Amino acid sequence: MEADFVIIGSGSAGSALAYRLSENGKHSVIVIEYGGTDIGPFIQMPAALSFPMNMATYDWGFASEPEPHLGGRSLVTPRGKVIGGSSSINGMVYVRGHARDFDHWAEVGARGWAYADVLPYFKRMENSHGGEEGWRGTDGPLHVQRGSRSNPLFHAFVEAGKQAGFEVTEDYNGSKQEGFGAMEQTIYRGRRWSAANAYLKPALKRQNVSLVRALARRIVIENQRATGVEIQRGSKIETIKARREVVISASSINSPKLLMLSGIGPAAHLKQHGIEVIADRPGVGQNLQDHLEVYIQQECVQPITLYSKLNLFSKARIGAEWLFFKTGDGATNHFESTAFLRSKPGVEYPDIQYHFLPVAIRYDGKAAAESHGFQTHVGPMRSKSRGSVALRSADPLEKPKIVFNYMSHEDDWAEFRHCVRLTREIFGQHAFDPYRGREIQPGESVQTDEEIDDFIRAHAESAFHPCGTARMGAKDDPFAVVDPECRVIGVEGLRVADSSIFPRITNGNLNAPSIMTGEKAADHILGVEPLPRSNQEPWINPHWQVSDR
């Protein structure tokens, strides 16, 4: 129960860390994971994505406190409690984030994390099938593909965007994010290509890597240095020793919780729970961010949507085809077209994301409409609202208190109203004429600002992209939790590497930047020279100051 490096969490960043820290064979690595196996069709079959996210077996079962600006609704906050972490229960959408997101990180104190610094790590991790040449990696562990887009609605969506005057992009993960195009997925040979499949399982084949199934209770700190992790297996409490470092990669919910349980966090909050203060870091658990979205749903007058496949017979047939051949409707997440748009003139790079689906359905898999339909998930990317994660008690088994504070900033409302109206404009283009029936949601009656606000308050859902709760920044920044090498400020031998260190949320889904964080953190931990900076310049719309398209 001793290793050079002890990693808490086998998720997107933790799996990448385990793979890279053990790669040269010189160091031993122990990965601590509370969840169980990822073997089985619910996780490995891409189309079954709504199941693991709602299963207590695979999910920590977190939920927010009643959200004050969403009519007191409590929103679920799924986090993966399974080998592969949230990469085993997510929607398998692959988005790096925009170049300017990372430039912003560097500007606010995360030196060495600008786009030029992180692009080489994105390339190192990727095995891109069909991406833009020169901008994408082709021999990394993480397979990234596009869907077949065989349903004509995927093309209608892109064509409608073009007709509305927006850009089209061949690869939003390449030089040009802005525009309508094909969506990328972490699926390989018909299977979910999670961080566990890409990184952890190959790493576990090495002699120097082992996996311990246990709950991490707290970091053991002696004389301001992390020396191990206190774990619980059943009723037994033990300690795993770290000869060199402990790395927390436990998610933006569990990482701050673990820091606080270990005496690192806002002093007054820790004292309130009787926890001895080892490092007073007021930023721990603060700066919580997420993406919120609404579903805009339209009836389809042609029977070409997935609605006809929601019956038990079709599901059985799809399941059988996937089981035997790893092909067919079971081998995709059905998110195959997307768009990244700017909301108004003066916005330099996209701040709206679309996920398009050829069915009207909820994320939890329940049919939202009793008819053929299509929908898009849409929401602003850079909300100014900030929330927090706090302890309920000093008991490691108790769930933390999560308040996102969604829609607490006035700008969020204006941005969301724009998203709803813009989507109607896109669905109203000629490309959708052969398919468009009535609007299912929000519905024709929802038109004024007040009516749209009521719809948002009642129906906005999390896109499940929480981050920011152990922010990376300059050493002298009182609200930074880790420095630009992911070291916890005020404690030796301890790092955090996952989405909790993001200073600000990136554009799109967070799996890709979380894996990149693990990749880059590994080089900092090993003390090797970072990959050489890139000199590639991303495309920025030449009309950004005067037009939204």
pLDDT tens, 21-72? 999 999 999 999 999 999 999 999 999 998 999 899 999 999 999 999 999 9
Q: Are residues 316 and 412 in the same domain?
A: yes
pLDDT tens, 391-442? 999 999 999 999 999 999 999 999 999 999 999 999 999 999 999 999 999 9
Selection from 383, 464, 463, 374 nearest residue 423 by Cα: 374
Ligand-binding site membership of 10 (annotated): yes
Taking residue 127's Cβ as centre, other Cβ atoms within 10 Å add up to 18
Q: Are residues 111 and 234 in the same domain?
A: yes
pLDDT at 183: 98
Residue 548 lies in a domain: no
pLDDT at 364: 62
- Cα–Cα distance measured from residue 169 to residue 339, given in angstroms and rounded to the nearest whole number: 9
Residue 264 lies in a domain: yes
Q: Distance between the two ends of the chain, CA-based, in angstroms?
A: 57
Residue 163 lies in a domain: yes
Taking residue 150's Cβ as centre, other Cβ atoms within 10 Å add up to 11
* Averaged pLDDT score across all residues of the chain: 97
Ligand-binding site membership of 5 (annotated): yes
pLDDT at 370: 79
- Is the pLDDT confidence value at 313 over 70? yes
Name the CA radius of gyration of the chain, rounded.
22
Ligand-binding site membership of 18 (annotated): yes
Ligand-binding site membership of 33 (annotated): yes
* 217 CA to centre of own chain: 24
Domain CATH number, residue 442: 3.30.410.40
- Is the pLDDT confidence value at 159 over 90? yes
pLDDT band at 368 (very low <50, low <70, confident <90, very high): low
pLDDT band at 310 (very low <50, low <70, confident <90, very high): confident
Q: What percentage of the chain exceeds 90 in pLDDT?
A: 96
Residue 394 lies in a domain: no
* Domain, as residue range, for 332: 148-182+292-380+408-459
The structure tokens listed for 425 are 């404009």
Residue 513: asked if its preceding bond is cis (omega within 30°), the reply is: no
Residue 393 lies in a domain: no
Residue 388 lies in a domain: no
Q: Are residues 224 and 266 in the same domain?
A: yes
Residue 396 lies in a domain: no
E strand residue ranges, 262-357: 264-265, 279-280, 292-300, 337-341, 352-357
Query: What size, in residues, is the chain?
Result: 549
The mean pLDDT of 256-278, rounded to a whole number, is: 98
Ligand-binding site membership of 511 (annotated): no
Q: Are residues 113 and 208 in the same domain?
A: yes
pLDDT at 451: 98
Residue 15 lies in a domain: yes
Ligand-binding site membership of 15 (annotated): yes
pLDDT at 163: 98
Ligand-binding site membership of 93 (annotated): yes
pLDDT tens, 514-543? 999 999 999 999 999 999 999 999 999 999
pLDDT at 369: 67
Q: Are residues 315 and 424 in the same domain?
A: yes
Structural domains of the chain, count: 2
> What SS3 state is found at 449?
helix
Beta bridge partners of 197: none
Ligand-binding site membership of 13 (annotated): yes
- Cα–Cα distance measured from residue 467 to residue 387, given in angstroms and rounded to the nearest whole number: 10
Domain CATH number, residue 11: 3.50.50.60
pLDDT band at 464 (very low <50, low <70, confident <90, very high): very high
pLDDT at 131: 97
Q: Are residues 109 and 217 in the same domain?
A: yes
Q: Are residues 3 and 63 in the same domain?
A: yes
Q: Are residues 156 and 264 in the same domain?
A: no
- CA triple 523-480-257, angle to 5 deg: 85
Active site residues: 465
